[in-house]
Amino acid sequence: MAQLQLREAIRAAMVEEMDRDTDVFLMGEEVAEYNGAYKVSEGMQDRFGSNRVIDTPISENGFAGLGLGAAMCGLRPIIEFMTWNFAFVAMDQIINNAAKIRYMSGGQFSFPIVFRGPNGAAGQLAATHNSSVESIFSCFPGLKVVSISNPDDAKGLLKSAIRDNDPVVFLESEFMYGMRGEVSEEADYLIPIGKARIAREGDAVTIVGHNKSYWRAMEAAEMLEADGYYAEVIDPRTIRPFDWGTVARSVRKTNRLVVVDESNPFASVSSEIAFQVQSRCFDYLDAPIRRVTAKDTPAPYAKNLMTYYMPSAEDTYQACRDVLYLD
Amino acid sequence: MPIAVEMPKMTDTMEEGVLVQWNVDEGAEIAAGDVIAQVETDKATMDVEAYDDGVLLRKVAGEGDALPIGALIAVLGARGDDVDAFLSQQADHKPPPVATEKPPASPQVSTPQKDALAPAAAGADRAVRIKASPLARRVAADHGLPLYQLRGSGSGPDGRIIRRDVEAHLSHPAAAVTQPDGYESVRVSQMRKTIARRLSQSKFTAPHFYLSIDVDMEQAVASRQRLNSQAERTGGVKVSYNDLVTKACAAALVQHPAVNSSYVAEENEIRQYNYVDIGIAVAIEDGLVTPVVRGVDRKGLTDIASEAAALAQRARDRKLQPAEMEGSTFTTSNLGMFGIEDFTAIINTPNACILAIGAIRDVPVVKGGQVVPGKRMKITLSCDHRAVDGALGARFMATLRGFLEEPLTLLM
């Protein structure tokens, strides 16, 4: 095992896959000469040359479409968005082309492409740079959506995403790029897409959280343990296809569910989880499902408001106490 | 011309009757004397006979209807008679039914049990929505625990019943509410109405006082044993203690006729009877009746025993006719078989007195300065002070005790 930052784990995954398969290439803004806006692709241009690590203009719709064309022609592009906030200008390529052409062509074309970049809130970046996009992309059949919470998962899941023959939306986090963690050095270390991870076992309440919210869930679980309650924390890892079985089994055991999700609450991933779990586990619920989400407003800029806007470990802890009827 | 069939007056005290059952269908040919229906009166369930021949054109009373004497219960006549015209003509001068009850076959629980689990439907005003988590509902259902039993025990928000409430109930059922709020509505039978009316009337109008005395039953026990072992050999009638007490009462009443009396307020007189008819209280399934043994003072023990046994059996079979329960001059009530040592009874008016008989107890008694095993029985006379004063009652009790302690003297 190696101690790697999350950005290094992502890089390791890309390097390994590019070593393995010459059809794999990386394209995006500042990925080559500048070594990546967040230094994820540091050294990769030196290693693979500017034919396979390609800087693009500031034209997300253009290079997303370029990537899709390449994928249609048999290459396996990795398209980096500097942040997913910028992918909104590439929506037509991602949603109308990436998600639908395989279906519309009767399977004649497939898109072995990964769109990756940091997602979600990243501090005082104000309303347009703090979006969480997982629910937007998850609602279109045809896209796989992966959201990572730690370096090891980043490597194993990105390698799986690159090898996948369908388009994968791969969600990282600015805040977590520097996070260190044990990462497997196993050759062909692949974590399957569509399998959740039970990060912590417990019997009192199930907490589901992905990406940064996974850490809020873990912190809340620690606080609950101090109260004598053992929360089961599940990192779904993949938003779509979602591993309903793992969550449902857990809820049938704990009879309670708290979902932490830093998206805006309306029609979000947490809404879908709450719906799916109540329909699968209705007779097992001893309390209404609770969600801990960002507030239903654009992200504010002011630090105090931003703190208030974001879901916190304390909010999660309190939601758990509520569904446990402790207060 | 149609003929009205009316609720008959079947006993002296009957005011209304419940049509319990129709024995014939509409359109049936009836002959005078046929039993067409059964009516529950204040005393018994009795047959209603048709007085005329004809076809039963219409049942006016339904089964379960309580109707006053004289109320129309059916129309008899010839086929083709205009029943409706007859009925409208009758309606002009007939009293309406006093009450219409539909007695259920069995006592009915008025709290909706099944509704308690279901969302309020048609009876929304009655069925209160019980808040419970889905899990709590499932756990309760798995244990066959109706949710209403948990009503009020919910510890969740707004009293929501959650799993721990169900589990608490299951582990400590005694501590939780085991009955739904509500009550069981049991129809008051004609007999119960009679008991209620007559005993209230007795207790409220006849000023009761009570005289208790302890009777040495040693010889009575021995005498009864001898009599019964002889009866066993000869196949004769066995005698109960109650028969013995009944006989002793008759003998004592002959000596104290003022106790064998009635206070008749309406006539401003006390009637002292020159015969002794003793009512014996018999507990039956849903009440009690007092069949009367006639002329006890002139009867031997075996006659008393066989008559009393037959009457008690007929009472339990609900076959007593009102005449068999009317006209007593004195009454006894015995709870000794339940181990009751002594109690006071409410006078069975118009009797002036009732004797309450307790159990025969094995007790240590002092005889000749020695403590020896003895048989004792407590009897308590309830007296209507309007007719019987304390001293009179006390003398009667002393006489009664004398007969019971020396049963041989009953032969005198």
Q: Give the model's confidence band at B158: pLDDT under 50 very low, under 70 low, under 90 confident, else very high.
A: confident
Which tens digit of pLDDT belongs to each residue from B132-153? 999 999 999 898 888 888 888 8
Instruction: Give per-residue pLDDT as tens, A140-166.
Output: 999 999 999 999 999 999 999 999 999
- Tell me, yes or no, whether B233 and B366 share the same domain: yes
Residues of chain A in contact with residue B133, where contact means CB-CB under 8 angstroms, are 285-287
Cβ contacts (< 8 Å) between A284 and chain B: which residues? 134-135, 138
CATH number at B405 reads 3.30.559.10
Q: Tell me if chain A has a CB within 8 Å of the CB of B131.
A: no
Look at residue B119 and tell me whether its pLDDT is greater than 60: no
d(CA A61, CA A65): 6
pLDDT confidence bin for B109, thresholds 50/70/90: very low
The Cα A216–Cα A208 span in angstroms is 10
Residue B214, burial from CB neighbour count under 10 angstroms (0-12, 13-18, 19+): middle
Domain co-membership, B203 together with B345: yes
Chosen for mutation from A251, A278, A281, A286 (greatest number of chain B CBs closer than 10 Å) is: A286
pLDDT exceeds cutoff 50 at B124: no
Residue A177 phi/psi, 5-degree rounding, is: -60, -30
CA distance A318 to B325: 76
Distances (CA, A) of B247 to B277, B299, B400: 11, 8, 10
B157: nearest CA partner in chain A: A325
Rounded to whole angstroms, how far apart are CA atoms B65 and B103? 8
Comparing B18-22, B279-283, B296-300, B335-339, which segment has the lowest mean pLDDT?
Answer: B18-22
What confidence score (pLDDT) does residue B145 get? 86
A220-273 confidence digits (pLDDT tens): 999 999 999 999 999 999 999 999 999 999 999 999 999 999 999 999 999 999
**What's the CA gap between B412 and B405, in Å, rounded?**
14
A197-323 fold: Rossmann fold (3.40.50)
Higher pLDDT, B189 or B217: B217
pLDDT beyond 90 at B206: yes
The yes-or-no answer on residue B385 being catalytic is: yes
pLDDT for B121 equals 36
Nearest to B58 by CA among B20, B35, B98, B24: B24
Confidence class of residue B128 from pLDDT cuts 50, 70 and 90?
low
Ranges of beta strands (E only) in chain A are 2-5, 24-28, 53-55, 76-80, 114-118, 144-147, 168-172, 180-183, 197-200, 205-209, 231-235, 238-240, 257-261, 290-293
Nearest to B394 by CA among B409, B403, B406, B383: B383
* Lowest mean per-residue pLDDT among A232-241, B76-85, B226-235, B243-252: B76-85
Query: What superfamily does domain A2-183 belong to in CATH?
Result: Thiamin diphosphate (ThDP)-binding fold, Pyr/PP domains (3.40.50.970)
Give the distance between the most distant pair of CA atoms in chain B: 91
How far apart, in whole angstroms, are the C-alpha atoms of residue A11 and residue A13?
A: 5
Of B227 and A17, more confident: A17
Say yes or no for a CB contact (<8 Å) between A282 and B134: yes
Chain B within 8 Å of A286 (Cβ-Cβ)?
Answer: yes
Please tell me whether residues B165 and B306 are part of one structural domain: no
Rounded Cα gap, residues B150 and B160, in angstroms: 10
Residues B280 and B381 occupy one common structural domain: yes
B132 secondary structure, DSSP code: B
> What mean pLDDT comes out for the span B105-121?
40
- For residues B242 and B209, membership in a common domain is answered with yes
Which runs of E-coded beta strand occur in B41-85? 45-49, 54-59, 65-68, 72-77
ipTM of the complex: 0.70
- Whether B122 and B72 map to the same domain: the answer is no
Residue A285 and residue B163: Cβ atoms within 8 Å?
no
Are B260 and B346 part of one and the same domain?
yes
Average pLDDT, chain B: 85
| Contacts of residue A296, Cβ cutoff 8 Å, sequence gap at least 6 | A264, A265, A266
Asked if residue B66 lies in contact with residue B15, where contact means CB atoms within 8 angstroms, the answer is: no
CB spacing of B162 vs A287 below 8 angstroms: yes
Find the distance separating the first CA and the last CA of chain B, reported in whole Å: 66
- A152 Ramachandran zone, left/alpha/beta (phi>0; psi -120 to 50): alpha
Least confident piece of the model among A139-153, A194-208, A238-252, B66-80: B66-80
* pLDDT band per the 50, 70, 90 thresholds, residue A323: very high
Contact A132, A311 (CB under 8 A): no
B162/A286 CB distance under 8 A: yes
CA distances from A228 to A204, A288, A326, B162, B305 (A): 9, 21, 11, 20, 77
Cβ of B156 within 8 Å of Cβ of A255? The answer is no
Q: Is it the case that residue A132 has pLDDT exceeding 90? A: yes
Nearest CA in chain A to B163: A286
B137 contacts A287? CB cut-off 8 A: no
Which of the four pLDDT bands, split at 50, 70 and 90, describes residue B62? confident
Residue B31 reports pLDDT greater than 60:
yes
Query: Mean pLDDT throughout A168-175?
Result: 97
pLDDT at A17 over 60: yes
Does the structure show a pLDDT above 60 at B33? yes
Residue B80 contacts A, CB cutoff 8 Å: no
Asked if residue B220 and residue B143 are part of one domain, the reply reads: no
Least-confidence region, from A5-9, A208-212, B7-11, B117-121: B117-121
Task: Compute the nearest-CA separation of B157 from chain A (Å).
Answer: 8
Q: How many domains does the structure of chain B reveal?
A: 3
Check CB contact of A33 with chain B, cutoff 8 Å: no
Q: Is B294 helix (H, G, I), strand (E, B) or coil?
A: coil
pLDDT tens sequence across B255-303 = 999 999 999 988 889 999 999 999 999 998 878 899 999 999 999 999 9
Single-letter amino acid, residue A82: M
Question: At residue A35, does pLDDT exceed 90?
Answer: yes
Q: Do B205 and B112 share a domain, yes or no?
A: no
**What residues in B contact A255, CB-CB < 8 Å?**
135, 163
Alpha carbon distance A44, A31 (integer Å): 8
Identify which has the larger pLDDT, A168 or B319.
A168
In this prediction, residue B45 carries a pLDDT of 81
Instruction: Identify all chain B residues contacting A283, using CB atoms and an 8 Å cutoff.
Output: 134-135, 137-138
| A325/B156 Cβ within 8 A | yes
pLDDT band at A202 (very low <50, low <70, confident <90, very high): very high
Sign of CA dihedral A309, A313, A318, A323: positive
A70 has a pLDDT exceeding 60:
yes
**Token pair 């793992």 is at which residue?**
A246
CA atoms of A318 and A312, how far apart (whole Å): 10
Percent of chain A with pLDDT over 90: 98
pLDDT at B205 over 70: yes
The predicted model gives A195-209 an average pLDDT of 97
Does A266 or B5 have the greater pLDDT score?
A266
A147 touches B at CB < 8 Å: no
By CB atoms closer than 10 A (0-12, 13-18, 19+), residue B268 is exposed
CA atoms of B90 and A296, how far apart (whole Å): 78
Q: What's the pLDDT score for residue B147?
A: 83
CA A129 and chain centroid, separation: 16
In a domain, B184, yes or no: no
Give percent of chain B above pLDDT 90: 44
Q: State the CATH number of the domain containing residue B157.
A: 4.10.320.10
Nearest CB to A283 within list B135, B157, B164: B135
Question: Would you call B138 and A325 a contact, using CB atoms and an 8 Å cutoff?
Answer: no
Q: Are residues B83 and B219 in the same domain?
A: no
Considering the domain architecture, whether residues B335 and B404 belong to the same structural domain is answered as yes
Task: Write the residue in B135, B137, B155 that is nearest to A325 by C-beta.
Answer: B155
- What pLDDT, on a 0 to 100 scale, did the predictor assign at position B120? 36
Tens digits of per-residue pLDDT, B340-392?
A: 999 999 999 899 999 999 999 999 988 889 999 999 999 999 999 999 999 99
Q: What is the pLDDT of residue B112?
A: 40
**Within an 8 Å CB–CB cutoff, is residue B164 touching chain A?**
yes
Provide the token pair at B246: 């009944």
B161: closest CA among B171, B148, B173, B177?
Answer: B148
pLDDT at B218 over 50: yes
For residue B114, give every residue at least 6 positions away whose Cβ sits within 8 Å of its Cβ, in sequence order, or none: none
Check B164 against A325: CB less than 8 A apart.
yes
- How far apart CA B8 and CA B73 sit, in angstroms, is 10
Most confident of A84-98, B17-31, B160-174: A84-98
B40: amino acid identity, one letter:
E
Residue from B133, B139, B142, B161 whose CB has the most chain A CBs within 10 Å, to mutate: B133
Task: Using alpha carbons, select from A240, A66, A228 the residue that is nearest to residue A170.
Answer: A240
Q: Which residues contact A187 (CB under 8 A, 6 or more apart)?
A: none
pLDDT of B127 above 60: no
B136 and A286 in contact by Cβ < 8 A? yes
Q: Where are the domains of chain A?
A: 2-183, 197-323
Q: Do both B389 and B283 map to the same domain?
A: yes
Q: Which of B137, B150, B163 to mutate to test the interface with A (most CBs of A within 10 A)?
A: B163
Position B114 scores a pLDDT of 39
So what's the pLDDT on residue B175? 52
Structure confidence at residue B93 (pLDDT): 56
Q: Is A310 helix (H, G, I), strand (E, B) or coil?
A: coil
**B260 in a structural domain:** yes
With 80 as the cut, is the pLDDT of residue B103 above it?
A: no
Domain extent, residue B132, equals 108-171
Radius of gyration of chain B (CA): 29
CA distance A114 to A81: 11
Q: What is the 3-state secondary structure (H, E, C) of A174-195?
A: CCCCCCEEEECCCCCCCCCCCC
pLDDT at A157: 98
Average pLDDT over residues B171-183: 62
